[in-house]
Structure 1
């Protein structure tokens, strides 16, 4: 008797088949993934090889372009505009007077708004009308007082502007008069003026490639109307040692093909000859006064003498060229070496790459007149930056940026868009294009210059703007620059940077920066208090103090903040905070200026630390009043921050009639940070 199947075998077999199909599908998927991975790896390897090959071609093209630039140095230089003293003249145009909010009169109260409220009986109506008239009279007097104060402040601002205009125009006219005086001196045969004029012509020339040295010593012989000068040449390494770059696939590395020694030597000899001819061209082209009959030029490299090992000036070329002979040359068509040696009868080292010297015919010291030297460490005593020629000063700043590891070049004198030096920081991430403005000022740089630089940075699409001056900056400038891609370098900071990078420069007295005025005597220890600030939250906040008369700060120097740690008399100064305080200010109330009747305290988000934060995290804020021993004398609650606000008036200490001081709570917030807050206290932030 047969037994019927229960069907379990068929179910089991179907499950097995499904599992087998699943395994096969997974195996196919793995094989497909492996195939795609291998294809992606091959594509990446192909792309990598193509990238490295393209990069090698780019490097070769750069080498070819560099050589082409060296070969066309003279031709390009001849196309550059000739130097004219008028290019150094400064415009007398000044920015127009702007009163800002002070130009808006205080609105007077409208009597129609002051209507009697209430009063069902004749007596109550009379009382309500009397109250309305009293409110109107009070508000009218307050508005009149505010308008009178506005007019006083407007008049003071106008006087300040007029004083600035007078000072600015005097400086511009002194500068332009100096340019005119130099021109007159050149025409009359003055040796010192001639040297100053022609060295300025060489320094301002746009014909020289970036990286070429511009060290010069010069003297002028009025009797023969001859300029005698020593001019520095670029070294042998200006000609690239490599001829091309090739990517080696098997070794995964670039291989440089060396430039033949004979070719490199011929290129360098041609560069030396072109430099000599280009100096002569620049000098004769700049001679609008007819002061040059001839030029005696000695070209040298600053290197180690092969014979002694001592660093020295090694002369590789010398020539004495008359104006008449040089005028007959067609420099765009000449062979530079033949022109120098045969056409001008000059001397050129046969092996300049091996520093084989020639003997100069006449040196600047042989003239016996005023000798000026520029551009080298041994070019005389340390120069005063304030008295330096503007072109030379800009060149020095560009040289400083190069010494700091950047690429830097002076811009042309016209159509420079407010940029004196273009720099490029090759540092990854934080590097990029930098625009530099140079202000050879004696007075404080106005905030308008910082504002103009910021506009230039935006117009040029630069990563950073740097303003370099021989003077200094006020709080308004620092406040405007805070949180923006701007860097302000004052005179003392500039001197320090120059010395740290092997360059020279001083301000005023020899030996470095001009001495600062002695600090005002500090208040006696028992005469000051410490105001300790504490708050909850992690937002980084700067706490600042303003010494005011009414609602106007006495001066920019009476604004104590992160870039101005004390007032001129030392009565208010920044102080190191002690826990639980996060910030502190030291105040000698009895030593505050007589004109001061208010000390305002403000807080603002630090945009460097928290660029996108507001003051909503500024809570549980308070001020602790401490004695010199940091013993707590009392606590004052201050306003907390609100969402969207980035600056806040914490409150102010106000002088009472009897001489005591009391505290008035603040609370006014600003969405535009210190830049929006400070104008309310009379500090110009433009």
Structure 2
């Protein structure tokens, strides 16, 4: 028994040892697989991290390269401008070759039937004289009906073809008449130029600057000019780019430790030097373009005053600040090799011009001869004073006005036709922009109004764009648009062209038109109380808004009576920078502020009892942002000379909200104004907020 028992225990013990060895092997294998899996996961994570780091580093390099390319373009403005095509009068001549008549499918006659087609249908019918006679009779009857139907279709085709041809002939006749009138006008302009007529000289050289291929689209092209016929001097004020055109950032580097991009600022001295060089290039390029375009030898001397419109640092008021000036004689300028000069040295030393030492701080120089000192007519583009001889858009025949708008689109390089007077579906002009990507079909509505266009017209245009399947809708008016219209159009394929912009475009593209008596603004339809002209307030305060976080905001102001804004014109924002009386206006801010509003409390309308300040997410800068990043906010109350009088705390923003009432200044019975903190937020953005204050946006 003992041997048998011992054998059973030994077998059990051996089985246990084998099981333990198996478990150990399995554990070791599982541990090996786990370590291999961990190594694979770690390698994948490292590869992902490396790929992410490479992508972020590449993005930082791309941003740096884009900044460097932007700076390189500014540095080489003059060189590239000298290589651009020279403006000539012949470039304004319009070809009389029109798009041919294309009737499409109407050009193809209707095919007439053949008897064989019907005989084939009965080829399998049973023979026999009676049945065969019946079949032949039916074939002939079918053939006769088919012929009648085909002839009727051909008659309709010919009628439709004739109607389309008549429409085309009318359109072609209008086009040819307009083209020939335009070209005849160029011929007359040429004769006036040869005679040295001052108005013709200014018109021609202004067109040369506006049509110049040497100027990047992002640079301004505002000019005021006059011509001294006796001395053969052309004198002009030319708008210069602002200091912000030079990138503040020099380079961008990705920091993997913090997973952030670090922007290296451009040294102030370097940025100022780049800006001064750009201003010098601009003046030299203006002179070069004028002399290059002078195929009629009308100029002996060109005087250019380069300016920016900004707040004068000495007074705080808006002013035209001259930062550079030069008087360049043809003889001296013709000897220069502009592609090889140092722009600053050439302007100052070579031509004896003046250039601000600190244009970034708006340090002005003494201007040369100004256009209003020449005598005779002074012509402005970009702030144009219309000639009284130009047609009054208000008095123009409605059809002629639509034709003028269509002509403007054609002058801008598009195909454009006016629609039929009935059944046009709310479309007055149809245009086709041939430009790739951004081009396409455009529907245009024309409103010859005197009062502000209501937002309902903008909404109707948007519906027409969707109904017609167009790429874009444009609303052109002789009047203006209120904030509600601009707010509704924001982010939609809509463009609003108010009367002042329309006149500017007409003159820019060689067309003529004015608003009323030549003031450039729409007069009211019925007599109205005289409205005070906007003037610089004698006594004002500046409200500077500051906050933490990188959220981009639009800060706006509403002049209200109770909880309702006085009118859409009393909602001050980026598209309406001032109230009608000028008592509230936007203004450029200075550090540490991120936005600023200028207010003359004593000049606010008597029936206004509060000034409401609001902030909203800028949908173009970041459409998905909210006000969670709007913290540690306050308003600095400043005097007219910049002295800080106090700080007003405002509420922080909250997640999900995209607009916020910062607070309001309220008029007390004694005439004083007290600040009441706000805090009400809106998830529907500025549109929701404005509706509550009575501004119609949709």
* Residues 273/480 of structure 1: CA separation in 2 closer, same or farther (3 Å cut): closer
Partner Cα separation in structure 2 for residue 134 and residue 57 of structure 1: 81
Answering whether residue 269 of structure 2 is matched by residue 267 of structure 1, we say no
Q: Shift of residue 34 of structure 1?
A: 1.9
- Number of the residue aligned with 2:212: 205
What is the CA distance between 1:468 and its match in structure 2?
7.0
Q: Is the 8 A contact 2:432 2:441 kept in 1?
A: no
Residue of 21, 24, 27 corresponding to 2:28: 24
Structure 1 residues 128 and 343, CA gap change in structure 2 (3 angstroms):
closer
TM-score (norm 2): 0.57
> Is 1:373 matched up with 2:380?
yes
Q: Give the deviation of 1:354 after TM superposition.
A: 1.9
The one of 8, 22, 26 aligned to 1:5: 8
| CA displacement at 1:12 relative to structure 2 | 5.6
Deviations 1:43-67 (A, max 9, x none): 3333444444444444333333333
Compute the displacement of 1:127 (Å): 5.4
Q: 1:100 to 1:389 in 2, by over 3 A?
A: closer
For 1:290-349, what per-residue CA distance to the aligned partner results, in whole angstroms no more than 9, with x for missing partners?
111211211111111000111211011222222122112222222222222222222222
Match of 1:339 in 2: 346
Which residue of structure 2 aligns with residue 182 of structure 1? 189
Instruction: Please give the secondary structure, in 2, of the residue aligned with 1:489.
Output: strand
Residue matched to 1:67: 71
SS of the residue corresponding to residue 8 of structure 2 reads: coil
How many Å separate the matches in 2 of 1:93 and 1:179? 18
Equivalent-residue separation in structure 1 for 2:216 and 2:45 (angstroms): 45
Q: Deviations over 1:249-293 (max 9, x none)?
A: 434433333333333322222221111111000011011111112
Distance in 2 (CA, whole Å) between partners of 1:49 and 1:378 is: 57
Q: From the superposition, tell whether residues 451 and 133 of structure 1 become closer, same or farther in structure 2 (CA, over 3 Å).
A: farther
Tell me the distance in 1 between the aligned counterparts of 2:404 and 2:468. 33
The CA distance in 2 between the partners of 1:176 and 1:497, in whole Å, is 38
What are the residue-to-residue correspondences of 1:308-387 with 2, within 5 Å? 308-376=315-383
**2:299 aligns to what?**
292
| Aligned residue number for residue 557 of structure 1 | none
Distance 2:373 2:402 in 1: 27
Structure 1 pair 388–452 and aligned structure 2 pair: CA distance change class (3 A)? closer
Alignment of 1:108 with 2:112, yes or no, is yes
Structure 1 distance, partners of 2:165, 2:130, is 52
Q: Contact 1:439/1:469 (CA < 8 Å) preserved in 2?
A: no
Q: Is the contact between residue 225 and residue 236 of structure 2 (CA under 8 Å) also seen in structure 1?
A: yes
Pick from 487, 491, 502 the counterpart of residue 472 of structure 2.
487
Quote the offset at 1:132 in angstroms: 4.2
Cα offsets for 1:133-175 (capped at 9, x unmatched): 4444333333333323322222222222222222222222223
CA distance, structure 1, for counterparts of residue 104 and residue 404 of structure 2:
36
Aligned mates of 1:151, 1:235 — CA distance in 2: 62
Distance 1:61 1:444, change over 3 A: farther
Please give the alpha-carbon distance, in whole angstroms, between the structure 2 residues aligned to 1:9 and 1:338.
103
Aligned partner (choices 156, 163, 175) of residue 156 of structure 1? 163
- Aligned in 2, Cα 1:154/1:451: closer, same or farther, shift over 3 Å? same
CA distance in 2, matches of 1:274, 1:346: 12
- Which of 46, 54, 69 is equivalent to 2:50? 46
> Given the superposition, is the C-alpha separation of residues 236 and 131 from structure 1 closer, same or farther in structure 2, using an over 3 Å criterion?
closer
Deviation at 1:384, TM superposition (A): 6.3
Match of residue 84 from structure 1: 88
Question: Is the 2:199–2:377 Cα contact (8 Å) retained in structure 1?
Answer: yes
Q: CA deviation at 1:230?
A: 0.5
Aligned length: 465
Q: What's the counterpart of residue 306 of structure 1?
A: 313
The question of whether the paired residues in 2 share the 8 Å contact of 1:105 and 1:147 is answered with: yes
* Secondary structure, counterpart of 1:224 in structure 2: coil
Say whether residues 1:237 and 2:244 are aligned partners.
yes
TM-score normalised by L of structure 1: 0.58
How far, CA to CA, are the matches of 2:290 and 2:133 in structure 1?
Answer: 93
| RMSD of aligned alpha carbons | 4.5
Q: What is residue 636 of structure 1 aligned with on the other side?
A: none
- Give the Cα–Cα distance (whole angstroms) in 2 for the partners of residues 43 and 261 of structure 1: 40
| 1:40, distance to aligned residue in structure 2 (A) | 2.9
CA shift in 2, pair 1:134/1:330, >3 Å: closer
Does the CA contact (< 8 Å) of 1:269 and 1:352 recur in 2? Answer: yes
Check whether the contact 1:441–1:469 (CA below 8 A) recurs between aligned residues: no
Matched residue of 1:312: which SS?
strand
What secondary structure is seen at the aligned counterpart in 1 of 2:241?
Answer: coil
For residues 125 and 140 of structure 1, what CA distance do their matches in structure 2 show? 22
Q: Distance in 2 between matches of 1:145 and 1:173?
A: 42
Q: Following the alignment from structure 2 to structure 1, what is the Cα–Cα distance between the partners of residues 53 and 140?
A: 90
The 8 Å contact of residues 403 and 418 in structure 2, kept in 1 or not, is answered as: no
Q: What's the counterpart of residue 95 of structure 1?
A: 99
Look up the match of 2:563: none
Which deviates more from structure 2 when the two are superposed, residues 193-202 or residues 126-135? 126-135
Seen in structure 2, the aligned counterparts of structure 1 residues 138 and 479 have a Cα distance that, compared at 3 Å, is farther
- 1:233 shift after superposition: 0.7
Q: Deviations over 1:82-113 (max 9, x none)?
A: 11122222222223323322222223332345
Q: 1:137 to 1:252 in 2, by over 3 A?
A: closer
Change (3 A) 1:51 1:384: farther
Mapped partners of 1:316, 1:51: distance in 2: 43
Q: 1:470 to 1:317 in 2, by over 3 A?
A: farther
SS of alignment partner, residue 198 of structure 1: helix
Candidates 501, 505, 515, aligned match of 1:505 = 501
Give the direction of change, closer, same or farther, for the CA distance of 1:93–1:15 in structure 2 (3 Å limit).
farther
| SS in structure 2 at match of 1:184 | helix
Seen in structure 2, the aligned counterparts of structure 1 residues 378 and 287 have a Cα distance that, compared at 3 Å, is closer
In the TM superposition, what whole-angstrom CA distance separates every residue of 1:8-61 from its partner, at most 9, and x where no partner exists? 665565454444433332222222222222233333333444444444444333
Partner SS, residue 201 of structure 1: helix
Is contact 1:441–1:470 with CA below 8 Å preserved after alignment?
Answer: no
SS where residue 306 of structure 1 aligns?
Answer: coil
Cα distance change on mapping 1:111 and 1:197 into 2, 3 Å: same
